[in-house]
Structure 1
Amino acid sequence: MPMREVDVAIIGAGTAGMGAYRAACKHTDNLVLIEGGPYGTTCARVGCMPSKLLIAASEAAETVREAAGFGVHAAAPRVDGTEVMARVRRERDRFVGFVLEAVEAIDPAHRLKGCARFEDPHILRLDTGDSLRAARIVVATGSVPVRPKAFDAAGDRLIVNDDVFDWTDLPKSVAVFGGGVLGLEMAQALHRLGVRVRLFGKGGGVGQLSDPAMRKAAAAVIGAGLPFDPDADVQDIAREGDGVIVRFSEDGESREERFDWLLAATGRKPALDGLNLGASALTLDDRGMPEVDPLTMQAEAGHIFFAGDVAARIPLLHEAADDGRIAGDNAGRFPEVETHPRRTPLAIAFTEPNIATVGASFAELSDTSCDFAIGEVDFSDQGRARVLRQNRGRLRVYAERSTGRLLGAEMAAPRGEHLAHLLAWAVQAGMDVETALAMPFYHPVIEEGLRTALRDLSLNLGHSCENSPRSIDCGPGA
């Protein structure tokens, strides 16, 4: 079989790969997009969209339960697991369908099915027998769930997040391992849908938070609704009958609990198996990855670029899309390579309350010895939050002392997804605290809680403030 010669080969047709393809097409028509698995992005198939569908169902059930707090009384919600999961799968398939339509619109001459591996820095061989020589290569193979060896004891009762969305009904009980975003979202959603859940964390982590005060606040509010230990002492896992037994220590006493399933929500890792990156001539670290420049997505200033989850930078869809655009543009124009500015980091966990981080984290600021001040608000007495009976959580905002420039924020806050966007835009615009406080704030809105945190931050920066942080225009809280 003759070897095909291309200017650019893109390995992986997910969010990053598709972005790379579109960007590279602006420079050359001699390129190929290679996919070894089913078409359809991680986000559409097993990530963002199906998880949010499950969360939406759980929020509907919780709304019914909470109605009595407003004096509106209804029967306890009856959760039909088969109907819940049917909608999750049905809508998931619609989202995947949109992706498939986009793939089908690509020139068939640019699409190649098969699992690719490096034979040398420029030659790729597919498991179909096809081979090609690429002047430039973009690796966008995504990520796969992490399965710690300790969980093997659960046998066939072990599942990962990806498996949940193929359920046809809800189980009676699940042990969720992982206090990160995946574990928090899945544990809380399943719990609210009537599944008995216990969430086991490790090392004290709570989502993507790094601020100790925020971790403590978020663990308390999440733990008020379901059993959650951010640093669980798990002694044993065993497959027994049609379930799994987890033995753990709680408050100094040994306990054991039986579950239908053990859900490993312990993160994802770059999908490198089968790529044979060792033949790429790149210098690989102990994870099997080269160093990648986040402003060019280029590895070692060479002809190979990485994009998306496999780049092991920030495994989020909008970041993967940007990675792909940058990598594809530079692969297309190589050897000319351009640096691309990155957007302000923004990450959201769709728990209740939302957990979000914006810009520089507390840990990053502390590690770089940045001189920064903190402003905060507790939402327990915030006006709009109390009206909605969502008065739980906390927000902390960080600013540079010398300039007052906003640097970042961490929060577990009601409607936090919207607060996080406002703050991300402010940080990216280089806004300082006083400029932010001069912006309009309507009443009564959750955003007034952000104003309270900004006022507190202003005072902690040594500025005089005409209004105290908790000044009240009308009603409780500011």
Structure 2
Amino acid sequence: MRELACDVAIIGAGTAGIAAHAAATKAGARAVLIERGPGGTTCARVGCMPSKLLIEAGRAAHDARGTGPFGVTTGEVRVDGRAVMNRVRALRDDFVASVFEGLDRIPADLRIAGTARFSDPTTLVVDDHTRIAAGAVVIATGSTPSLPPPLRAVADLVLTTDTLFEIETPPESLAVLGAGPVGLELAQAMARLGVQVTLLDPADAVGGARDPKIASCAAALIGADVTLHLGATVETAEAVGDGIRLTWRRDSGETTSATFAHVLAAAGRPPNLSDLGLDAAGLALDEDGLPDFNPRTLQCGTAPIFIAGDANQEHPVLHEAQRQGWIAGGNAARFPQVEAPPPWPAFALVFTDPQIAAIGRAFDAEEARDWVIGETSFADQGRARAMDRAAGLIRVYAEPDGRITGAAMIGPGVEHLAHLTAIAVQEGWDAATFLDRPFYHPTLEEGLQSAVKAVAERTGGTR
């Protein structure tokens, strides 16, 4: 068995692992990166990028069908499903290749292929070929799609986000289990490509929306594209001919069954921790096997072990995974001296049409009684009307003194409005400070300006 010594060993070469390796190396550490494959990061291979490629295909089809209000007449819109999926895979492969190009710049003797397990807190064994003695370890093992128990009997027939993009052409019908951000995005994209989509979720909101007004608006707008069943729990699944028959129960107790060509499980991605031998690392684990860790330093207890990215479930989005990797890698290199940078504002985006966003403080019905909330609708927003996209809602949350603490919104171009709001929350702006910034006319940003004005009017912060 090969014996290898290093300052920092990083398990996982996804977004967090790559960032951790870069941070540890910059701090002067000898860092080893371990990857069991297939590599290429979750984002590029099965997440952010292929899903957006599918979403953009659906948007193109939808926009082509919707030219009538502009006085533009087009012929019949036809979707070549095989061409759609070929483009998704071709560009996806380009994104993955760019990740591998970056990894190839790491010296070969510092890249180890295989599955790592702890034999003690600072010793890892990779398969049966390498033993690594490290000063500190970063766990960045990512996540894997979960399969709800009722689907396990037909597991070989069920699609997940790891397999969806490999199908040759979109199916005639599709049941999507999970109305969270990923399920919602993929359901709408498939529907706009001509698939008959049914979306089921036990919860009563879509896209993770916690503000009830935003959740209601989102369900109504996204429900125009898909058959939406909220408060619906799938109880059984069975293979029927070439399809899958699902039976689900509503909160009311009513039971419904239907058969679909495919089923997509989009009910979350638990972390990949079970194969690490964390018991040998001496870490305190919760009932789900997740180590106790400091969310700011990312250190597990007092051990020289750090956990970053999807592996810790703290913020399973790329920008947070990248930052966590950087923090964890730097702290591992400096151990036992660790830094605890202040957290970024919470920031979530759902790339549906219209888009959904939540920034900063999450809505809470009890706490909101003491908030100042500025609200504006896209229904009468000038630029949105010009675009024939006048639907949606913005809700900005503030303290009684006008300091902006968060927002929730659904509407056109929300990804850009949300970035402005995230900066305002991070910088601690009050409504008056926010309004003392240029808002060009006519833009969608003026909708956000209107919501902030509503806060300012109620807190005496107008200028």
Q: 2:433 aligns with which of 427, 432, 435?
A: 435
2: distance between equivalents of 1:50 and 1:230? 26
Aligned pair 1:230/2:220, yes or no? Answer: no
Output the amino acid matched with 1:295: R
1: distance between equivalents of 2:331 and 2:425? 27
CA RMSD after TM alignment: 1.8
Mark the runs of 5 or more structure 1 residues left unpaired by the alignment. 467-478
Name whichever of 178-187 and 229-238 sits farther off.
Answer: 229-238
2: distance between equivalents of 1:301 and 1:369? 37
Pairs within 5 Å for 1:109-120: 109-120=109-120
User: In the alignment, which residue of structure 2 is the partner of 1:469?
Assistant: none
Q: Contact 1:297–1:326 (CA<8 Å) still a contact in 2?
A: yes
Pairs within 5 Å for 1:280-299: 280-299=281-300
Q: Contact 1:244–1:262 (CA<8 Å) still a contact in 2?
A: yes
1: distance between equivalents of 2:54 and 2:87? 9
CA-CA distance at 1:457 after TM superposition: 1.9
Q: Contact 1:208–1:356 (CA<8 Å) still a contact in 2?
A: no
Q: Contact 1:406–1:426 (CA<8 Å) still a contact in 2?
A: yes
Pairs within 5 Å for 1:375-454: 375-401=374-400, 403-454=401-452
User: In the alignment, which residue of structure 2 is the partner of 1:309?
Assistant: 310
2: distance between equivalents of 1:176 and 1:76? 28
Deviation per CA, 1:55-94: give whole Å up to 9, x if none: 0100000011111121111112100011000000000000
Q: Contact 2:121–2:303 (CA<8 Å) still a contact in 1?
A: no
Q: How many residues align?
A: 462
User: In the alignment, which residue of structure 2 is the partner of 1:300?
Assistant: 301
CA-CA distance at 1:345 after TM superposition: 2.0
Q: CA separation of 1:252/1:73 partners in 2, compared to 1, >3 Å: closer, same or farther?
A: farther
User: In the alignment, which residue of structure 2 is the partner of 1:473?
Assistant: none
CA-CA distance at 1:319 after TM superposition: 0.3
Pairs within 5 Å for 1:315-334: 315-334=316-335
Q: Contact 2:205–2:216 (CA<8 Å) still a contact in 1?
A: no
CA-CA distance at 1:236 after TM superposition: 3.4
Q: Quick one: percent identity of the two aligned structures?
A: 46
Output the amino acid matched with 2:373: I
1: distance between equivalents of 2:235 and 2:335? 53
Aligned pair 1:136/2:166, yes or no? Answer: no
Output the amino acid matched with 2:91: E
2: distance between equivalents of 1:323 and 1:76? 48
User: In the alignment, which residue of structure 2 is the partner of 1:373?
Assistant: 372
CA-CA distance at 1:342 after TM superposition: 2.5
CA-CA distance at 1:28 after TM superposition: 3.4
Pairs within 5 Å for 1:159-174: 159-174=159-174
Pairs within 5 Å for 1:84-123: 84-123=84-123
Mark the runs of 5 or more structure 2 residues left unpaired by the alignment. none
CA-CA distance at 1:370 after TM superposition: 8.4
CA-CA distance at 1:235 after TM superposition: 4.7
1: distance between equivalents of 2:30 and 2:249? 60
2: distance between equivalents of 1:17 and 1:238? 39
1: distance between equivalents of 2:46 and 2:155? 22
TM (normalized to structure 1)?
A: 0.93
CA-CA distance at 1:369 after TM superposition: 7.7
SS at match of 1:420: helix
CA-CA distance at 1:234 after TM superposition: 3.8
Name whichever of 438-447 and 252-261 sits farther off.
Answer: 252-261
SS at match of 2:120: coil
CA-CA distance at 1:450 after TM superposition: 0.9
User: In the alignment, which residue of structure 2 is the partner of 1:71?
Assistant: 71
SS at match of 1:134: strand
2: distance between equivalents of 1:248 and 1:150? 10
Output the amino acid matched with 2:340: T
2: distance between equivalents of 1:177 and 1:355? 19
Output the amino acid matched with 2:195: V
